[in-house]
Amino acid sequence: MQQNSLMKSTLVYCILFVAAAMGVMLYYAATKTVGVADLAQDEVVRPSEQGEENTPDVPKMENEIVINRTELNTNYFCIPMPESVKAEEVVLENHYMDKELWVGISTEQTQVYEEFYESKSVFGNCENVADGRFEAEKDRICLRFALNGVYEYRSIFEDHTLYVEFVPPKEVYEKIIVIDPAYGGEEHGVAVDGILSKNITLDVAKALKAMLDESDIKVYYTRMDDSNPAAADRVELAAATKADMLISIEVSGDENSKLYGTSTVYNSKFFIPGFGNVELADLLEREVVTSISGKACGLIESAKEDLVVNNATVPAAAIRVGYLTNSQEAILLQREDYIRRIAEGIYNAVLKAYEQREE
């Protein structure tokens, strides 16, 4: 009898142990998360099950991604992924000037993935998403989502779903600036003998980026290619990111070819207490002129056509880095070392601007 009792007790304990072990294994399997593209990892608030009554919106255009806007219990925008997709194959791209989030998925099966997104809808917290579409590209499919603002992202890849949280830039970065290389596209700026101002301003921005990338300052650029965003969009970027300052880079020109030097434009009619437009303009003028050992033409009050400076609601100024119509300065503005020195001057002005703001 004692032996039978012992065997029964042992069997009960074994069953309880196995049940507990299975519970632990299932818990860890259910909560396994993988971060995507080195973005911050966070806990997923799981959505409730989608019921049959949650009928997705009907697609309205070719390659449109259906958005199921039925309210779900999640903080995340949820993008289903084909079962073969791995986290390392997913890349998030922040096209902030266009207010778009691109999700690229590396694959040689673009047709299969196209069929997948023709039949699957995105869901969850969609309040920041206006619409979506997919496009097949070489070796990848790209999901493009139009947003209602400028955001940074936290993401998690889990259970064949990409979870994306939209985060205002100021919640991620303490220091934010906007750099605005003027002109672009068909707007060349001053042009002399095939030398275009739009290329000079972009070269300065690229040299400046190399320096700012090593700092703790988050920088948004209105353009880094030959595009020409509208003045209103350049201004909106600074407002949407709640930037600490906006710096435009321009080139001067004049019928008088003897004129040369650096000047800085600011809006004297829009007053910002403490560190404002004139203080930023003064720093830019001083630091750039010092860096290039050039001539200071001084601060200039903005004119009607200075749309970016005039409409900015954050400290803003436009640094005019030289006269392309002056033959000697035109030569300098094509030299890589001179461009780098201009960028160093702007960089030093930004650092000193933050020092003044903290005083």
Per the model's pLDDT, the better-predicted residue between 103 and 44 turns out to be 103
* pLDDT at residue 318, rounded to an integer: 98
Segment 267-317, tens digit of pLDDT? 998 888 888 999 999 999 999 999 999 999 999 999 999 999 999 999 999
Domains of the chain: 34-167 (no CATH), 171-358 (3.40.630.40)
Q: List the single range of 61-75, 142-156, 212-226 with lowest mean pLDDT.
A: 61-75
* pLDDT at residue 70, rounded to an integer: 85
The rounded distance, in Å, linking the Cα atoms of 92 and 96 is 12
Give phi and psi for 232, each to the nearest 5.
-65, -35
* pLDDT at residue 247, rounded to an integer: 98
The 8-class DSSP code of residue 334 comes to: T
In a 13 Å sphere around the CA of 198, the CA atoms on its Cβ side amount to: 17
Is the pLDDT confidence value at 186 over 70? yes
Is the pLDDT confidence value at 195 over 60? yes
Segment 337-357, tens digit of pLDDT? 999 999 999 999 999 999 988
Give phi and psi for 235, each to the nearest 5.
-65, -40
Length of the chain as a residue count: 359
Is the pLDDT confidence value at 54 over 70? no
* pLDDT at residue 239, rounded to an integer: 97
Confidence class for position 23, pLDDT limits 50, 70, 90: very low
**SS3 of residue 46 by DSSP:** coil
Nearest to 205 by CA among 191, 187, 223: 223
The 8-class DSSP code of residue 88 comes to: G
Do the Cβ atoms of 191 and 79 come closer than 8 Å?
A: no
* pLDDT at residue 24, rounded to an integer: 37
